[in-house]
Chain A
Amino acid sequence: MRLVAAQLVESRQILPGQWLQSFHAPELATGSRAGQFVHVRTGDYSGLVLRRPFSINTADPATGTVTLHFRTVGRGTEWLTRLREGETLDMLGPLGRPFEVDPRSRNLLLIAGGLGMAGVRMLADEAVRDGRQVTILFGALDASHVYPSSLLPDEVEYVVATDDGSLGHRGYVTELLPEYEAWADQAFACGPQPMLARLARLAAGRRERLGVAKLGRKRGGGKTDPAGSVAARRKAFLQVSMEQTMGCAVGACLGCAVMGVDGPLRVCREGPVFAADEIAWEPVS
């Protein structure tokens, strides 16, 4: 974690209201792992007092660049879109804990809802680099909001669901999970809270459905690791990247809490990635 002056290299609108910006920040490009985030200071000071947290979308150590993918939701993000190439941003990062992939996992399922792609995108790069099979399930409102496949590595399988059926499966992305859950060794998700809650419920019943409780690879069999530890997260089938309004992003203010089964968890410090069973999910409607 450090304060970095990141220089804007490229900025473009990839989808309506969604931007992909690439910054030259070698410290971040080499030091971050998939799932971590940066806390960005906006320079428009007409009333903005907080930094904005963004998942690191991709990091390229070779060129020393990181990319951020965001949607314009308010004055901070709008200010970001007006940033010109060559200008610098004050970033604090890399922050938070990354996705933990079990070294034995061969097939990774990445599930993203809308802007949730920003949270899992970098994991696709890392997994492909490590020689793993990757399938990305992506859910969006309609075809015009589907993340362009040209921005994904060639090696991944990309499956799309849209709410109105204008592209791919008609319906929620969570409906695609049963098709892939037997194939996948581990799943990683980022998206709206209801989507994650639904996935968590599906994942919790996976072991019984597939009848792999005590067979094959002994995930979670034998000794139990303390919840939230790296070992416990590695054994979890589903890991989720959570979102919350944030203050300090270093664990000092306790503002970004989400409710876990054992009490509040800080998204900035214990997260943003959690094993799905660490979170006390709100009932799915």
Chain B
Amino acid sequence: MKAKKKVVTSGDVRITAYKPTARTKRRETVRAIKSAIVPITPVSPAAQRARIETGGAAVADLGTTPVGRPTLAERAALDRIDVSVDLAPARGLRLPNPIMVASGTFGYGVEYGEVVDVQKLGGICCKGTTLRPRIGNPPPRVTETPGGMLNSIGLQNPGVAAVIEKYGPIWQGWDVPVIVNVAGESIDDYVEVVRRLDGLPGVAGIELNISCPNVGKGGLQFAIDRDAARSVTAAVRRATELPLLVKLSPNVADVRPIAKAIEDAGADAICAINTLSGLAVSPDRTRAFLGNTFGGLSGPAIKPVALRVVYEVAQVVSIPIIGIGGVTSLDDVLDFMACGAVAVQIGTAIFADPELPVHLADELRSECLRRGLESYRPLVGTALPKRAGAPSVKGVEYRP
């Protein structure tokens, strides 16, 4: 039976009132329910994060990441892209991807365990480890600065023995390579710590921290002097067959001879850079803010300095370079690669976004796919000059 139509006259306008039967009513309800179901549009993790970052306002995707979840075919293509990298070809330090986490910002890898899937990282550089326990510097130890932060932890750590006992078994069960950051007051200290780590399952490599700006003794003095850098690297090299990374300091006039000396002494790779020495003033302006007066500057503020150091070092050494300093996005990763870094470490940015390193590895894969590359290797060193360029520090020219 058709729905009855009742004609209502109101002035000169005829309105057709609609009187539904039970059947049409049901149909209407179904239609209403269906129209209420909004199709779920897939949103890429990057876009989702961008939404959070902008406080809910929608932003344009900048085209570096594909929108939506990849299809099966795309996922297969993404899986074919080789983003693994060997930082020590002679000894073998193969990272599943070139996005590592920087020492001091990720503890021993377990702290962020509830939030981050550590197995998806390229590598973990653990907190600086010394021979004996250190209680670190007096608080306050961190403060935010424009575009970055200052820290002055002072190498607080429980000592190598405790680190091995507590974290060794955990690291052993991980697929992700763990690189132990080693600091010391003397060459003997470095050698002794490395000797204890040598051959330990779960330790994939050593990152020699000769550039901590926050401790009185044993920090910077090895990184600012070519001969000292060479001696400590050579001594550690003799003590272990573990892959050896050495972390450079930007707090020097010319970084190139130091990098060259480290390469000659047998390092497998160079990390650049550690923090820049800096200072913040207390709110009442009666003293320095940090308990240790000086602190190390990190974050986006130091990215240009880090790029400069990587750029210079890449022209004088032939071992792999790991870029560190202010990486917060894929563009930063690509910048470092263009300047000659084969891998990067994420530090300060983890504090704001703990999932960033994992996302960046995915984004790097997508970027390669977008450019039709099977590996990211063609992206490395594209910004380097064909011939050796002029150094950043021109020495005598700038003297009055």
On A, residues with C-beta under 8 Å from B are 1-3, 5, 41, 43, 45, 47-51, 83-84, 86-90, 92, 244-259, 263-264
Q: Is B82 an interface residue (CB 8 A)?
A: no
Say yes or no: A251 contacts B142, CB within 8 Å: no
Least Cβ–Cβ distance between B125 and chain A, in angstroms: 12
Say yes or no: A92 contacts B354, CB within 8 Å: yes
Say yes or no: A258 contacts B139, CB within 8 Å: yes
Question: In whole angstroms, how far apart are the Cα atoms of A181 and B156 in the complex?
Answer: 38
Point out the residues of chain A lying under 8 angstroms from B179, CB to CB: none
Q: Is B52 an interface residue (CB 8 A)?
A: yes
Question: In whole angstroms, how far apart are the Cα atoms of A3 and B353 in the complex?
Answer: 9
Within 8 A of A (CB), among B140-199: 140-144, 146-149, 151, 153, 156
Among residues of B, the one whose C-beta sits closest to the C-beta of A255 is B142
Among residues of B, the one whose C-beta sits closest to the C-beta of A83 is B55
Say yes or no: B351 contacts A244, CB within 8 Å: no
Q: Which of B105, B141, B147 contacts A47 (CB 8 A)?
A: B147
Say yes or no: A88 contacts B144, CB within 8 Å: no
Least Cβ–Cβ distance between B355 and chain A, in angstroms: 7
Other contacts beyond A50-B351, A257-B156: 9, CB < 8 A: A41-B53, A45-B53, A49-B148, A87-B55, A89-B55, A90-B353, A92-B115, A250-B112, A253-B151
Say yes or no: B107 contacts A88, CB within 8 Å: no
The answer to whether A41 and B52 touch (CB under 8 A), given A247-B149, A257-B141, A258-B139, is: yes
Point out the residues of chain B lying under 8 angstroms from A254, CB to CB: 127, 136, 141, 153, 156
Least Cβ–Cβ distance between A246 and chain B, in angstroms: 7
Say yes or no: B149 contacts A1, CB within 8 Å: no
Q: Is B219 an interface residue (CB 8 A)?
A: no
Within 8 A of A (CB), among B325-379: 348-355
Say yes or no: A88 contacts B149, CB within 8 Å: no
On B, residues with C-beta under 8 Å from A are 51-57, 104-108, 111-112, 114-115, 127, 135-136, 138-144, 146-149, 151, 153, 156, 299-300, 348-355
Say yes or no: A244 contacts B52, CB within 8 Å: no
What are 17 of the A-B contact pairs (CB < 8 Å)?
A: A3-B115, A3-B355, A5-B52, A47-B147, A49-B149, A49-B300, A49-B349, A84-B56, A88-B56, A90-B53, A245-B142, A247-B149, A247-B151, A249-B351, A252-B107, A253-B105, A253-B107
Point out the residues of chain B lying under 8 angstroms from A47, CB to CB: 146-148
Least Cβ–Cβ distance between A237 and chain B, in angstroms: 25
Say yes or no: A245 contacts B140, CB within 8 Å: yes
Among residues of A, the one whose C-beta sits closest to the C-beta of B111 is A252
Question: In whole angstroms, how far apart are the Cα atoms of A230 and B141 in the complex?
Answer: 27
Interface-central residue, A2, A49, A248, by most chain B CB under 10 Å: A49
Point out the residues of chain A lying under 8 angstroms from B112, CB to CB: 248, 250, 252
Say yes or no: B111 contacts A256, CB within 8 Å: no
Say yes or no: B53 contacts A51, CB within 8 Å: no
Q: Which of B57, B106, B114, B141 contacts A256 (CB 8 A)?
A: B141
Among residues of B, the one whose C-beta sits closest to the C-beta of A41 is B352
The answer to whether A255 and B151 touch (CB under 8 A), given A87-B56, A245-B142, is: yes
Point out the residues of chain A lying under 8 angstroms from B51, CB to CB: 88
The answer to whether A41 and B353 touch (CB under 8 A), given A254-B141, A255-B142, is: yes
Question: In whole angstroms, how far apart are the Cα atoms of A96 and B144 in the complex?
Answer: 21
Say yes or no: A247 contacts B351, CB within 8 Å: yes
Interface-central residue, B104, B156, B348, B351, by most chain A CB under 10 Å: B351
Point out the residues of chain B lying under 8 angstroms from A259, CB to CB: 138-139
Least Cβ–Cβ distance between B285 and chain A, in angstroms: 16
Point out the residues of chain A lying under 8 angstroms from B147, CB to CB: 47, 49
Interface-central residue, A5, A89, A244, A264, by most chain B CB under 10 Å: A264
Say yes or no: A43 contacts B55, CB within 8 Å: yes
Question: In whole angstroms, how far apart are the Cα atoms of A264 and B151 in the complex?
Answer: 15
Question: In whole angstroms, how far apart are the Cα atoms of A252 and B102 in the complex?
Answer: 11
Among residues of B, the one whose C-beta sits closest to the C-beta of A249 is B351
Point out the residues of chain B lying under 8 angstroms from A90, CB to CB: 52-53, 353
Q: Which of A2, A49, A263 contacts B144 (CB 8 A)?
A: A49
Least Cβ–Cβ distance between A89 and chain B, in angstroms: 7
Question: In whole angstroms, how far apart are the Cα atoms of A83 and B56 in the complex?
Answer: 10
Point out the residues of chain A lying under 8 angstroms from B141, CB to CB: 245, 254-257
Least Cβ–Cβ distance between A77 and chain B, in angstroms: 12
Among residues of A, the one whose C-beta sits closest to the C-beta of B109 is A252
